[in-house]
Amino acid sequence: MLSEKVDYDLILVRYGELSLKSRYVRRYFENMLVRNIKNVFRRHGLSCRVEREWGRIYVFTDNVSSGVDLLRRVFGVVSVSPAFRTVSSMDSVSKLAVGVSKKFLCGDMSFAVRVTRTGCHVFTSRDVAVRVGRDVAAVTGARVDLDRPDFELFIEVRDDVSFLFTEKIVCVGGLPVGTQGRVLVLVDSFYSILAAWYMMRRGCDVVFVVVDDSFLSCLDSFLSKWNMESKIISANVSCRVDLYSMLDRFFLDEGCDAIVTGYSMYMHSDDVLSSIMLLKKHVGHLFLHPLICFDREMMDQKLREIGVLV
The residues spanned by each domain of the chain are 10-170, 182-305
Tell me the CATH number of domain 182-305, given options 3.90.1560.10, 3.40.50.620, 3.40.50.300, 3.40.50.150.
3.40.50.620
Dump pLDDT digits (tens) for 65-108: 999 999 999 999 999 999 999 999 999 999 999 999 999 998 89
Q: Above 80 in pLDDT, residue 241?
A: no
Q: Which residue has the higher pLDDT, 16 or 63?
A: 63
CATH label, 10-170, candidates 3.40.190.10, 3.30.2130.30, 3.90.550.10, 3.30.420.280: 3.30.2130.30
pLDDT category, 194, cuts 50, 70, 90?
very high
Band (271; pLDDT cuts 50, 70, 90): confident
Neighbour tally for 220: CB within 10 Å:
11
pLDDT at 299 over 70: yes
Residues 6+ apart with CB under 8 A from 18: 26, 29, 30, 33, 76, 175, 176
CB 262 within 8 Å of CB 192: yes
Query: Could you check whether 10-170 and 182-305 share the same CATH topology?
Result: no
pLDDT over threshold 90, residue 36? yes
Give exposure, 221-244, as e/b (b: 16+ Cβ within 10 Å).
ebbeebbbebebeebebeeeeebb
- pLDDT at residue 20, rounded to an integer: 66
Write out pLDDT tens, residues 119-151: 999 999 999 999 999 999 999 999 999 999 999
Helix (H, G, I), strand (E, B) or coil at 254: coil
User: What are the CA-CA distances from residue 258 to residues 184, 199, 206 (Å)?
Assistant: 6, 11, 10
